[in-house]
Amino acid sequence: MRLTHTSDLWWKNAVVYCLDVETYADGNGDGIGDFRGATQHIDHLERLGVTCIWLMPFFPSPDRDDGYDITDFYSVDPRLGTLGEFVEFMRTARDRGIRVIADLVVNHTSDEHPWFKEARSSKESRYRDWYIWSDTPEPDDPKGVVFPDKENSLWQLDEESGQYYYHRFYRFQPDLNVGNPEVRDEIARVLGFWMELGLSGFRVDAVPFLVEDVSKKEEGSKEAPAGEQDGKKAGKGQDAKKLPDVHDFLRDLRAFMNRRDGGAMLLGEVNLEYPDLLKYFGNDLGNEVTMCFDFIGMQRMYLSLARGDARPLAESLKERPAPPKDSHWATFVRNHDELTLDKLSEPERQEVFSAFGPDKDMQLYGRGLRRRLPPMLDGDLRKIKMVYSLLFSLPGTPVLFYGEEIGMGENLRAEGRQAVRTPMQWTPHRNGGFSTADPKSFRNPLVEGEYGPEHINVSAQRRDPDSLLMWMTKLIEQYRGCPELAWGDYQVLDTGESSVLAHRADIDGATVLAMHNFADKEVTFDLTLDGLDDSQVLTDLLLDGTSKISSDGRVTIELDPYGCRWMRASEPELAPADAADVKESEAQSRS
């Protein structure tokens, strides 16, 4: 596949790396990560093969929700640096060929944002309708409370104005009214501002909550007669006008970005069932969110790991609909939040809890785990390497959370989601090389024990050819060299072995196979590869070796316990070199 065909849609085979500036690297010794420190470590990401950095919120904030409670969308939190240091970070990343995207958190603001302070000061305030108000607390759906350990309602009384304001998340995060055209215009200005400073796109936080039209729903429930709560007849508070379709907002936002930069993208956090999720792509048009995270595939993967059975993941891949032509799925092993299992049935969720988080302290909100992968897999490097091989071979764009490349663990002493947002581990020395400050000044404590920096760090793994870091580097190199995985049509293959997931990706007559064994036993199986025959061979891309294909397209594959193989189909004279080829050429030169 020609690179000229893929360069415009760079996100389709990108390697995205999520980092929290506050916990990544401290450049001025005050105990808080900053842009100065992050800039000094961009070469680590270049060597790893990262092509896109995703920055978690870095805006001014009271920091009651790890920076997601924002008081100014147009600046940098002074604890993390200055706008000038942000620009230096961007320039350094661009020099290494790395794009940068950032969190777009416009579901809500902090209650300390000047907009909300002005809005609550008077019902006549120009910012009053930038938020969602009600004279009475509306009936709550307990399932709608995002943080049930901290909140029991979606409405909070504002003592100053005597009305209740809506908050889907914490009570100190009042929701913005995206149905208000002025709010939409301001959000577009925010995007335009940061795009002018070099951002290539945004990860959109909690997209379904961003576009939920609460004002219509609440007015409808209060005012509309039975059978007229679908928006066809508005309540008295809406002057009998149908409220706008909030999906117009996503389409307008995407169009605005395309006008500013045709290569800009939106990465959406849309944790819904597949049929409901498709509309956030813009259905067949693909004119809303550019990429959506595959939460269902991720959750089924953990169920497969718990069972040692690949079938739950295979079923989700078969069920997953194709995105629009220029859109894509984003795949991941875990993100910065709890490892949610909300789309599994209750018995399935309990299976995963029993396998990977049996203690209540390891669980969160009754729906997820606050652990990282290596401790969940008892540090078994075979399993860990297999999971990341799976990540980079699955159809979709792989997204890494900082520290995954070295196998960092969690610190359960930290509260809630903070257990996995611990300081990055660069060296085995003081504070893991994160900071020279007193560790008491850190937002979150370092990981301790066998996953602490004295055992798990970048410096040591960079020197060890058998380390997880070097394995990840190899996976990324091969992934970037296999456009079939990102761009091709994929098909789940029948292996006859429940523990094995095998799939193929095809494009422009080229084929790559990927096979992964979820069980602690060696397996041998036959595959029938339609369209291939003995005029071609399969060459291993992760290990040395070549396998022959029979005239009827059959091939025999062996996989070690928790083994993984990627294989490219090609004519023998065009096949990638392996160790046998090197030995043969050396023998011929000696003769």
Q: How far apart are CA 295 and CA 316, in angstroms?
A: 10
Q: How far apart are CA 287 and CA 264, in angstroms?
A: 12
Q: How far apart are CA 175 and CA 166, in angstroms?
A: 6
Q: How far apart are CA 197 and CA 263, in angstroms?
A: 15
Selected catalytic residue, list 205, 337, 348, 410: 205
Q: How far apart are CA 321 and CA 494, in angstroms?
A: 20
**Catalytic site residue 159?**
no
Owner of token pair 């001025």:
28
**Catalytic site residue 269?**
yes
Phi/psi-derived region of residue 149, left when phi > 0, alpha when psi is between -120 and 50, beta in every other case: alpha
Q: Are 15 and 476 in contact (CB under 8 A)?
A: yes
* Paired strand residues for 19: 55
SS3 494: coil
| Strand bridging mode 546-548 / 554-559 | unpaired
SS3 507: strand
Residue type, 370: R
SS3 306: helix
> Which runs of E-coded beta strand occur in 167-274?
201-204, 265-268
Q: How far apart are CA 591 and CA 585, in angstroms?
A: 10
The CB density around residue 362, as the number of other CB atoms within 10 Å, is 18
Please report, to the nearest 10 degrees, the dihedral formed by the alpha carbons of residues 76, 78, 79, 85 taken in order: 60
Residue type, 524: T
Selected catalytic residue, list 65, 66, 111, 269: 269
CA–centroid distance for 571 within its chain: 37
Q: Are 522 and 559 in contact (CB under 8 A)?
A: yes
Residues acting as catalytic residues: 205, 269
